[in-house]
Structure 1
Amino acid sequence: MLIIGIAGGTGSGKTTVARSVIEQLGSDKVTFISQDNYYKDQSHLTMDERQLTNYDHPFAFDNELLIEHLTLLNSGQAAYAPVYDFTQHTRSASDTVHLKPNRIAIVEGLFVLYDEKLRNLLNIKVFVDTDSDVRLLRRVLRDIEERGRSIHSIHQQYLATVKPMHEAFIEPSKKYADLIIPEGGHNEVGIQLLTILTEKYLTGGENWLV
């Protein structure tokens, strides 16, 4: 199985890049995994305690479970990813996402290139690099429309954790990338290059880089 990791800051266009590649290859050939599903379970905490969590720090993620699931998929076994409820700041007690083994898996998330153990499972490492003002505007729209947040809470979180965590952890992980795609989903050339590499794997198997 070819495992592609796509990292980048909040609102950089990681998901758009992944979806564009999947659309060109065919959804039946690719298993998509979002690192956002792997925020740690916080059901044992009160709502007030959950809201104090720094969700923009690598420690907020259960990468051990993500690695376990990738290992299962790589061995031809299915896995069930948790579903994170951002309105309740914890995992859903009942919902999961069925991940089926496939020839290709795309893992997308803030810290996909930060964790060494996770990084070592990736065959292609991608960093989506987008201007900070564009990323901020996208995050504002997403958090209001999809996660029920207020402008005030988004502003506070961005200054307190999002920006400093990006500078401390996400931006430095760019050095591990095999391919950097500026401007995310608007970079058709970068997306096409990633698609071509992946298609070579589909047709060439183990000799895909030759």
Structure 2
Amino acid sequence: MKKKPVIIGVAGGSGSGKTTVANEIYGQFPEQSILMIEQDAYYKNQSHLPMEERLKTNYDHPLAFDTDLLIEQLHALLAHEAIEKPVYDYANHTRSEETIPVQPRDVIILEGILILEDERLRDMMDIKLFVDTDSDLRIIRRMMRDIKDRGRTIDSVIDQYTEVVRPMHLQFIEPTKRYADIIVPEGGQNHVAIDLMVTKIKTVLDSKALI
């Protein structure tokens, strides 16, 4: 009988470096039985809404996510069943018609800003990380990313941060830090924390290889 896969949750605010941490860990196992699930892939389908309504979506609020589908697909992976992971179309602000086939693996890294907000998700995780980075660094990183990669202006990034991102962080994301098993300061720059996680995952994979 196969052992249940291990789920590692990596949470943190926008620009905290959580994606970098998750990718750094994942990148240490290029030939191993490990996969990454991004919470961003599970934004709700909005195809039934007109574009002007879609543009009002608050992507930093728990209700923006189809958490039921995420939980359903995680349960399938835990049962060693393949899934069709959704793809979100940011240009059209709705779910794409295409999906990505994902095969089950021994270790699942679940990454996203609000993965520790839902108790059902928390209960599925074996290890919960929260990447804790000062707000001034997070806004600078977000500004650089949105201007470079998404063609945003400085004013629009600042407006969105002050009106939506910051209040949502304080209301929904920051409080979930208390659920973390490990708090990782400074995100992807914290190589000690990343090395510790890699060592832990190697132990898990080695133990499964002996079964």
**Range into which the TM-score falls when normalised by the shorter chain:** over 0.9
- Preserved CA contact (<8 Å) 1:87 1:148: no
TM-score (norm 1): 0.92
Name 2:161's counterpart in structure 1: 158
What secondary structure is seen at the aligned counterpart in 1 of 2:85? strand
SS in 1 for 2:108: strand
CA contact (8 A) 1:126 1:179 kept: yes
Counterpart of 1:60 in structure 2 is 64
Partner of 1:48: 52
1:43–1:145 CA distance, 2 compared to 1 (3 A): farther
Cα distance in 2 for residues equivalent to 1:6 and 1:134: 18
1:168 alignment counterpart: 171
AA matched with 2:121: L
Q: CA deviation at 1:27?
A: 5.1
Number of equivalent positions? 204
Instruction: Give the CA deviation at 1:145.
Output: 3.1
Matched, 1:114 2:126: no
Q: Tell me, what secondary structure is at the counterpart of 1:7?
A: strand
1:2 aligns with 2:13: no
Could you list the runs of 5+ residues in structure 2 that have no partner in the other structure?
A: none
Change (3 A) 1:27 1:152: farther
Percent sequence identity over aligned pairs: 52
1:150 and 1:44, CA in 2 relative to 1: closer, same or farther beyond 3 A? Answer: farther
Which of 17, 30, 36 is matched with 1:32 structurally?
Answer: 36
Deviation by residue 1:121-166 (Cα, 9 ceiling, x = unmatched): 0000000011111111111222233334333322221111100010
Q: Which residue of 1 aligns with 2:22?
A: 18
Structure 2: which amino acid aligns with 1:12? S
| Aligned 1:54-203 pairs, distance under 5 A | 54-93=58-97, 95-203=98-206
TM-score by length of 2: 0.92
Are 2:146 and 2:157, in contact at CA under 8 Å, matched by a contact in 1? yes
Q: CA deviation at 1:170?
A: 0.5
CA distance in 1, matches of 2:152, 2:90: 10
Q: Secondary structure at the match of 1:45?
A: coil
